């Protein structure tokens, strides 16, 4: 069911957005060559505890997950692009890391993701990351009342296709509110003018993710991590936004 939030409820969601943005910034700062992925999860866990927040991942067990996730942040490295389950791995120079984090504050959820390179970066990785960021911006710009979900999807796809990337639509954006995943689904490719109409009060996560040379993925043996079928690298950018009478509100905006 698609739910619309009142202006007062959207204001109540701001603390969750600020918290998620802050946790991503802090864990990204801690992600250096030699940092263990389990340490990043511990940092996020400590921040959740100290803020009195609630993890959206810890006991999360959807149909596509082999078991409850069991961690509080997704850490996807190189050919892993989504749902990366933190494990005993130390980051190496040049690793492309995606951090995806969702949590609830006072019963409201926010969801966001960032990709970056640890240490020295390849030009190909920087281009891929930049494309996801620009696609996210394009999707947000299209998130206006009177438009439809397809307008967001088409805006994202236009950026990706201009750079020669193909698009997987199995996983994409989604409604956000009292739970992490709700309706409507917001695919990263679609036709403008189609889909659910965007109305003030709709809160969604927009999340372009692309792989360097494929749009095919498979699930790792851990039952969660999604990897590219050909071993190429992936990047992912995500914000939770609220549709208003004017420009959208980016609830998970990060300072700087």
Is residue 144 domain-resident?
yes
Task: Give SS3 for 7.
Answer: helix
61 is in an annotated binding site: no
Domain limits for position 36: 7-250
100 is in an annotated binding site: yes
Q: Which residues of 179-215 are buried (b: 16+ CB within 10 A; e: fewer)?
A: ebbbebbbbbbbebeebbebebbbbbbbbbbbbbebb
123 is in an annotated binding site: no
Compute the distance between CA of residue 243 and CA of residue 74 in angstroms, rounded to an integer: 26
Residues in the chain: 256
What pLDDT is attached to residue 7? Answer: 97
Is residue 186 domain-resident?
yes
Compute the distance between CA of residue 208 and CA of residue 187 in angstroms, rounded to an integer: 8
From the CB of residue 65, how many other CB atoms can be counted at a distance below 10 Å? Answer: 16
225 close to 206: Cβ distance less than 8 angstroms: no
216 is in an annotated binding site: no
Domain count, the chain: 1
Is residue 256 domain-resident?
no
Is residue 1 domain-resident?
no
What pLDDT is attached to residue 256? Answer: 59
CA R_g for the chain: 17
H helix intervals, 85-240: 123-141, 149-162
Is residue 138 domain-resident?
yes
CATH code of residue 208? 3.90.230.10
174 is in an annotated binding site: yes
pLDDT averages per 10-residue partition of the chain, 256 residues: 96 98 98 98 98 96 90 98 98 98 98 98 98 98 98 98 97 97 97 97 98 98 97 98 97 87
192 close to 150: Cβ distance less than 8 angstroms: yes
Compute the distance between CA of residue 80 and CA of residue 111 in angstroms, rounded to an integer: 19
């Amino acid at each position: 069911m698609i739910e619309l939030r009142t202006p007062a409820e959207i204001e109540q969601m701001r603390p969750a957005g600020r918290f998620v943005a802050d946790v991503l910034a802090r864990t990204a700062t801690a992600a250096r060559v030699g940092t263990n992925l389990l340490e990043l999860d511990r940092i996020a866990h400590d921040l959740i505890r100290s803020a009195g927040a609630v993890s959206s991942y810890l006991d999360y067990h959807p149909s596509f997950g082999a078991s409850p996730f069991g961690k509080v942040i997704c850490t996807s490295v190189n050919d892993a692009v989504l749902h990366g389950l933190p494990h005993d791995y130390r980051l190496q120079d040049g690793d492309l890391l995606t951090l995806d984090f969702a949590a609830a504050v006072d019963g409201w959820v926010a969801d966001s993701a960032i990709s970056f390179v640890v240490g020295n970066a390849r030009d190909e990785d920087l281009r891929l990351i930049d494309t996801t960021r620009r696609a996210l911006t394009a999707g947000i710009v299209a998130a206006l009342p009177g438009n439809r979900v397809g307008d967001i999807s088409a805006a994202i796809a236009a950026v990706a296709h201009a750079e020669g990337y193909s698009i997987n639509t199995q996983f994409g954006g989604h409604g956000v509110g009292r739970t992490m995943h709700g309706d409507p689904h917001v695919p990263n490719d679609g036709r403008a003018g189609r889909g659910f109409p965007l109305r003030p009060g709709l809160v969604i996560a927009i999340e372009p993710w692309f792989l360097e040379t494929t749009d095919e993925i498979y699930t790792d043996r851990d039952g969660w991590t999604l990897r590219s079928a050909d071993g190429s690298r992936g990047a992912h950018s995500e914000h939770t936004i609220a549709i208003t009478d004017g420009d959208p509100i980016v609830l998970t905006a990060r300072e700087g």
